Structure 1
């Protein structure tokens, strides 16, 4: 995918990633920490993580197309390098979402007294917090580098027009 309605697809797709990765990260952590949340979310949790996972390579691919159609500079290259690192985080969110969903499908009474279930739940919670934090920080770093690459010379610090709409 390269263009959507005359605009580079990356510019549009990036909004899905910027919303879905943090949303999925928060949902995974909430579900891992509170099994009642996971049971309430049900299969929506791994489905959301799957959509998030799929959006990352689509956006990256569109970004690679865009990179070939803009002037290459250090800022664009840095953004592309950082963007390539998001897929493992999205994969981690998906794996954890599926694991949390799978382990919390049973009712609370079926899980009571099961020591291994408690150990798994604690491990999933710790891993979820770590992967969610990594994914959110990575999205922030990628977005910041992309904004710098797109806007570093694209505006004036002083107003250039009258601002009254007659321009």
Structure 2
């Protein structure tokens, strides 16, 4: 996919990644910390993570097309390099979401989902910590990629003074 309605597809698809990665990360962490949320979300959590995972290479591929159609400079190259690192984070979100969904589903099916709170097991504590690490890594990576993309797109692309003669701020 290269163009959508005359615009580079990357410019449009990036919005999905910017929204879906933090949303998936937040949902994963909430479900890891609060199993009842995972039970309520059910299959929605891994489906959300799957859509997130699929959106990353679609956006990256559209970005590679765009990279070949803009002037070559260090800012564009840096953005492309950073963008290549998001797929493993999205993959981690997906794997953890599936494991969490599967584990919570098995626990609920076995009748272990009673009203009595149980202490955190080492496995559950590890799942929470791993979810926090992967979620934080994914969100930080999206921020870094987005920041580098904005710098690449807007570097020398605007004036600090208004072009229509009015001073609005």
Give the TM-score taking structure 2 as reference length: 0.91
Matched residues in 1 for 2:122 and 2:104: separation? 13
Please report the RMSD computed on the Cα atoms of aligned residues, expressed in angstroms.
1.9
Does 2:122 correspond to 1:119?
yes
Partner of 2:72: helix, strand, or coil?
coil
1:1-167 correspondence runs (5 A): 1-105=1-105, 106-107=107-108, 109-110=111-112, 118-162=121-165
Number of residue-to-residue matches in the alignment: 162
Matched residues in 1 for 2:111 and 2:165: separation? 68
**Cα offset for 1:110?**
1.2
Matched residues in 2 for 1:51 and 1:124: separation? 22
Matched residues in 2 for 1:5 and 1:160: separation? 28
Partner of 1:70: helix, strand, or coil?
coil
Deviates more, 1:12-21 or 1:102-111: 102-111
Give the TM-score taking structure 1 as reference length: 0.92
Deviation string for 1:52-99 (max 9, x for gaps)? Answer: 000000000000000000001000000000000000000000000011
Matched residues in 1 for 2:30 and 2:73: separation? 40
Partner of 2:121: helix, strand, or coil?
helix
Matched residues in 2 for 1:118 and 1:52: separation? 29
Matched residues in 2 for 1:123 and 1:95: separation? 15
Q: Flag structure 1 segments of 5+ consecutive residues without an equivalent.
A: none
